[in-house]
Amino acid sequence: MQHMEILGFGYAKDPWSVYFNGRKVEGASAMQFQVLSHGYAKDPWSVYFAGNKIEGASAMNFEVLDNGYAKDAWKTYFMGRPVDGG
């Protein structure tokens, strides 16, 4: 049996993979995966919401705000989706 570590907000990992609610998060680095809050998480290369990669989001400066909102240097996101004009 694999060692499963519960990370919070629906995320868990074993030594090789990351999972969200039991579903594998494709492409996520288990060794460097970081849960942020409210469904958002990241590794050094990508940002995720509810286990889905947020295309174009910058992991380097991604920040979770309040009430489902988050931002990086270029865009604002709500529930993992870009907000128009953000």
- Among 22, 81, 85, CA closest to 48: 81
- Report pLDDT for 84: 82
Task: Record the pTM.
Answer: 0.92
- Residue 4 pLDDT greater than 90, yes or no: yes
CA terminus-to-terminus distance, the chain: 45
pLDDT digits (tens, 9 = 90+) for 19-39: 999 999 999 999 999 999 999
pLDDT digits (tens, 9 = 90+) for 43-86: 999 999 999 999 999 999 999 999 999 999 999 999 999 998 65
Distance CA 36, CA 14 (A): 18
Q: What tokens were used for 63?
A: 């920040």
- Report pLDDT for 1: 47
Q: Which residues of 56-74 are buried (b: 16+ CB within 10 A; e: fewer)?
A: ebbbeebebeeeebbbbee
